[in-house]
Amino acid sequence: MPKDRRLFFERLTGSYPADNDEPTLRGEEQVTADAAVAQGTPGRKSPLPPVEGEGQLMADVYQTPDEIVMQSIVAGLKPEELDVSITRDMVTIKGRREKHREVSDDRYFHQELYWGSFSRAIMLPQEIDVETAEASIKNGLLTIRLPKLDKKRVQKLKIKHE
């Protein structure tokens, strides 16, 4: 049985490299990964398929003992132009990048930026506390901090006497 070469987070969330022969974006054969990005197909797939005609936002997700942190580049967007939805086990980011000036296609000699609607949904490896989650943008980097739920913590419930 061949060894599963996917990262822990890929196995946990069900995401996988776009093609079994194609490496993920971990530094192996960067030319292949760059070609995938240039063609509009990211090196890793989201657990949910993107809506047709919609770009997929790239994201980094890591965890500390107390929280899960998600970061994504959203340069050129204001906070009110993003829609961030969270549940206890998933984060969804949606938005739209608009071109500010129209340039005809024949004038481009190199074009990589994505314009239009984009979204990204990521399954989380652990339940989070939705009420205390925070999001901020600094220098075009969206950072979402998601405090983990402590399932070992016991809350005592007071009983009222009626």
Element (H, E) at 38: helix 30-38
**117, 95 in Cβ contact below 8 A?**
yes
Q: How confident is the model at residue 43 (pLDDT cuts 50, 70, 90)?
A: very low
Q: Model confidence over 128-154: pLDDT tens digits?
A: 999 999 999 999 999 999 999 877 776
Token representation of residue 122: 């990521």
Which domains, from first to last, does the chain contain? 1-45 (no CATH), 48-147 (2.60.40.790)
Block residue for tokens 């340069």: 75
Indicate if the pLDDT at residue 59 is higher than 90. yes
Cα 43 to chain center, whole Å? 13
pTM of the model: 0.61
Q: Tell me which residue has tokens 């984060």.
A: 91
First to last CA, the chain: 64
Q: Where are any strands of DSSP class E within the chain?
A: 55-56, 60-63, 67-73, 82-86, 90-97, 116-123, 134-138, 141-147
